[in-house]
Structure 1
Amino acid sequence: MINFTMIPTRILLSCIVLFYCQSGIMAQNVTDNSTTRSDTLHYSSPGEVGLDSILLHVGIDSIINQALDSGAFPGCQILLAKEGKVFYHKSFGYHTYDSLRPVLPTDIYDIASITKIAATTLALMKLYDEGKFDPDQSLGHYFPFLARSNKGHLTMRMILAHQSGLKNWIPYHAESRKKNGRYRRKTIAADSSESYPYRIPGSSLWMHKDYVQKKIYRMIKKSSLYEEQSYVYSGLVFYLLPELVERLSGSSFQDYLSENFYQPLESQTMGFEPLKKFPASRIVPTEIDTFFRMNLLHGVVHDEGAALMLGVSGNAGLFSNAYDLAKVFQLLIDSGSYGGKSYLRPETILEFTRCQYCALDNRRGMGFDKPLIKYDSIKTSVAKLASPESFGHSGYTGTLVWADPDNKLIFVFLANRVYPTRTNRKIYELNIRPRIHDLVYNLIKEEKISE
């Protein structure tokens, strides 16, 4: 019998981590049906990309254990890839705090505002490639009902880069209520009828047949602008963009994305309305809604506005696991190609992911978030060493994806920090995501110094 007390701690830990890593990699490969090629994501080890496996695993474990112990979120998925090699892919914790269902790598998360880039912007990039979308055209050109409004002159570039002066959001469901709490006519009702045929996802409420066009669209049209055109994150027009994609492409928003990206990428879990394809047991719940839908939101979109778009929105509503989301960003840092297939022109990716209004102190690309122009450890969600060319997006539910073409690095973090309530901000207070990102960049930096 081996006496483990006689083995030096560092060597024992190294053996344990190595066994754990290899077991994890094998488990991931079993769940992935895509063909392993040199130009697709494939599993590797930290050592193969020049990183210290022990420092990586021990470092991430320490950060996540602190997050779980403090109740920052019930569980999460983390994926890291470099040069197309997935060198870290691990799940932590549980779906909820009852600790009944552990998070698996195949589980599916509501990725919230990552929808803006992994769905909406992706579709616009393809339409740009096809010569059907011009970011320098006006909002009024693409949406004639807004042409004579106060926002008809705004360009799509300004809107996608959040430099338009648009209000950041409108609480549509709250605006549809009277002072006594009852919903106004032709908005939302407790019972279905011919006039109220649409059930709002995750609720027992029903939506009027004309609510989107005659209420939501009207609220957007009548909304005021900020006095100064400066950076203000706004999702208002993203509610309209799926309709634009459909008009320009001739396909439904979902079909256009599926046929041009998700299906050929074999991103099987990525899509809207996941309960139509997967059992609830594979989907991680988000919030216990106590103010609108009055229910546990499980398998339905968390965002209230996207719920009023019946779960398919350009603002939010996309679901995925970490691996399938990483495929999209691998093609973006590989100049638009993945698995021998070209999806986007390299020039298109550069145009959308570059900083659009840096001179105006706005870091954003078109759709994509970028590193802060002036680093601030309190305000950032990504590493200090992330290159200026890097890009990604965060999601309100606790998600983040970030791609760095300079370092060929992808970081995916999926969590449900809003369970059971959105008031939980510990993921931000503890800087969980940037600390993990910093750890990886510091290991990369150490490797470069040692070379």
Structure 2
Amino acid sequence: MDTLTADRRGAAADFPLPAADLESLGFRRQQIDRLVALIERHIEEGHYPGCQIALARHGRLALFRSFGDAATEPDRRAAADDTLWLLYSNTKVVTAVALWVLAERGLFSFSDRVAEHVPEFARHAKGDITILQTITHQAGFPNAVVPKPAWADHKRLREVVCNFALEWSPGSKVHYHGLSAHWTLGVLIEALTGQDFRDVIRETVAEPLGLGRELFVGLPEAEFARAADMHEPVPRGRGQGRGMRRDADANSPEWRKGGAPGGAGYGTARAMAALYQMMLQGGTLGGTRLVSPRTLQYAIRNHTGDRVDAFMGMPMHRGLGPHLRGTTANVRGLGGLAHPGVFGHGGVGTSYCWGDPESGVSFAYITNNRIPDPWHSRRLDLVANLVHAAILPDGPAS
């Protein structure tokens, strides 16, 4: 398919990012063609069944394209522009944006202790843990688990979260909390608002930005048919799709509906590119202001310095949701060529989404096979660097 045709395809008139062509937004088409060829080669080689990417700048959508298959068994289903992809930990940024909105409404401060709003959370010596420590992965309970029955029973969820036990002193380490910190933040949202956290995220983020059909934390059953199946690698010759098989847990109704606020969001690549455009445009998208520039300056800054994240094995420069490139030698997912101010987040073994405040560019890359390192990190660096190298300094500001 011609890339320019693909640029415009699926850019519906009511989407908050109007379509434009690559050159008018200051992108080197040759570099983007290399990115497309790389993704097509990955699919041909059997690394993942399908992929979706989106590239935006200065409030316009330059590229939106779907590749390969959303499902492989029992019947093949091609990826389409309305396919919803499991975002995994990209969901953390969506949840964080909802918290930014609630903070602006005066419901809490990030310096508050969680127990000020959820008193039972003080159990097991957790009374002094702040919301800032929780969202920046310094809370001290990275391996705490919420069992499946609590995903839908939010009274039980609160009890489970409040019973989390510390593994080390809060604030003494940076260590990625894969799901535990954001289950805590989900309980906090419910305590602040009296509403299901999934409803709050929809009402404060997705719907105001015009993304109500393309970004979900808690996927309604009516949208299941649009969801791409998540896959996982298996030894060659033992599974479907040349070394891949469906991941039963990640495709379960409980996971999709439960909306784990740290890992079970669903969305399109263009929705994620649009979310980052909101951040790059000072808190507005399509004429709607979600948060203030001052809130963004506070949220998207390095709160953990160059301290090494013990799980990632490198400094992650944690903000309140996204992390930043910084100037350290290694970085995860954002691309080694990235400007130090580039910020974003990834999804385990599958994806990364980011924004570049220097150029006004946002990019989303989402796949549906959970591939471990080292291949995963190597391909993310290559993908991101192809995009960074495509950005010219003369993109129009409007």
Provide TM-score, normalisation by structure 2: 0.83
Mapping 1:86-97, distance limit 5 Å: 86-97=61-72
Secondary structure, in 3 states, of the residue corresponding to 2:78?
coil
Q: Quote the Cα distance in structure 2 between the aligned partners of 1:135 and 1:313.
A: 21
Q: Quote the Cα distance in structure 1 between the aligned partners of 2:119 and 2:173.
A: 25
Native 8 Å contact 1:167 1:236 kept in 2: yes
Deviations 1:409-433 (A, max 9, x none): 1010111122xxx6x547516x222
1:347 to 273, 294, 306: 294
Mapping 1:234-249, distance limit 5 Å: 234=177, 235-249=179-193
Is 1:110 equivalent to 2:83 in the alignment? no
Query: Which structure has the highest helix share of the two?
Result: 1
Change (3 A) 1:27 1:141: same
Native 8 Å contact 2:306 2:328 kept in 1: no
Q: Which residue of 1 aligns with 2:346?
A: 394
Secondary structure, in 3 states, of the residue corresponding to 1:170?
coil
1:257 to 194, 197, 201: 201
RMSD after superposition: 3.1
Deviation at 1:321, TM superposition (A): 0.8
Q: Which residue of 1 aligns with 2:311?
A: none
Native 8 Å contact 1:322 1:412 kept in 2: yes
Query: Which structure has the highest strand share of the two?
Result: 2
Native 8 Å contact 2:325 2:340 kept in 1: yes
Letter in 2 for 1:170: A
Provide structure 1 residue ranges, at least 5 long, that are not aligned to the other structure. 1-16, 174-187, 189-197, 202-206
Change (3 A) 1:159 1:373: farther
Mapping 1:271-282, distance limit 5 Å: 271-280=216-225, 282=226
Deviations 1:277-301 (A, max 9, x none): 3252x210114799xx994643646
Deviation at 1:51, TM superposition (A): 2.4
Q: Which residue of 2 aligns with 1:55?
A: 31
Deviation at 1:349, TM superposition (A): 0.8
Q: Which residue of 2 aligns with 1:24?
A: 6
1:320 to 267, 275, 282: 267
Is 1:149 equivalent to 2:124 in the alignment? yes
Native 8 Å contact 1:288 1:297 kept in 2: no
Deviation at 1:129, TM superposition (A): 0.8
How many aligned positions are there? 374
Q: Which residue of 2 aligns with 1:358?
A: 305
Mapping 1:265-344, distance limit 5 Å: 265-267=209-211, 268-280=213-225, 282-287=226-231, 295=248, 297-298=250-251, 300=253, 311-344=258-291
Provide structure 2 residue ranges, at least 5 long, that are not aligned to the other structure. 235-245, 309-314
Change (3 A) 1:352 1:107: same
Q: Quote the Cα distance in structure 2 between the aligned partners of 1:444 and 1:23.
A: 20
Deviation at 1:343, TM superposition (A): 0.9
Secondary structure, in 3 states, of the residue corresponding to 1:277?
helix
Deviation at 1:408, TM superposition (A): 0.2
Deviation at 1:226, TM superposition (A): 5.6
Is 1:162 equivalent to 2:107 in the alignment? no
Native 8 Å contact 2:121 2:161 kept in 1: no
Secondary structure, in 3 states, of the residue corresponding to 2:217?
coil
Q: Quote the Cα distance in structure 1 between the aligned partners of 2:320 and 2:265.
A: 19
Change (3 A) 1:54 1:295: closer
Q: Which residue of 1 aligns with 2:239?
A: none
Deviation at 1:375, TM superposition (A): 2.4
Is 1:66 equivalent to 2:41 in the alignment? yes
Deviations 1:142-172 (A, max 9, x none): 32112253222122112211233x1322345
Query: What percentage of residue pairs aligned between the two structures are identical?
Result: 20
Q: Quote the Cα distance in structure 2 between the aligned partners of 1:228 and 1:90.
A: 42
2:54 to 58, 79, 92: 79
Is 1:34 equivalent to 2:9 in the alignment? no
Q: Quote the Cα distance in structure 2 between the aligned partners of 1:208 and 1:24.
A: 43
Deviations 1:197-245 (A, max 9, x none): x6x99xxxxx88975344x33551x242269812111132311222321
Provide TM-score, normalisation by structure 1: 0.74
Mapping 1:111-126, distance limit 5 Å: 111-118=87-94, 120-126=95-101
Change (3 A) 1:96 1:251: closer
Change (3 A) 1:224 1:75: same
Q: Which residue of 1 aligns with 2:243?
A: none
Deviation at 1:89, TM superposition (A): 1.6
Q: Quote the Cα distance in structure 1 between the aligned partners of 2:301 and 2:83.
A: 32
Deviations 1:288-335 (A, max 9, x none): 799xx9946436465xxxx7xx61332222111111222221111110
Letter in 1 for 2:143: W
Q: Quote the Cα distance in structure 1 between the aligned partners of 2:367 and 2:258.
A: 19
Secondary structure, in 3 states, of the residue corresponding to 1:274?
coil
Q: Quote the Cα distance in structure 2 between the aligned partners of 1:81 and 1:212.
A: 38
Q: Which residue of 2 aligns with 1:180?
A: none
Q: Quote the Cα distance in structure 1 between the aligned partners of 2:263 and 2:114.
A: 20
Point out the more displaced range, 102-111 or 229-238. 229-238
Change (3 A) 1:115 1:294: closer
Q: Which residue of 2 aligns with 1:135?
A: 110
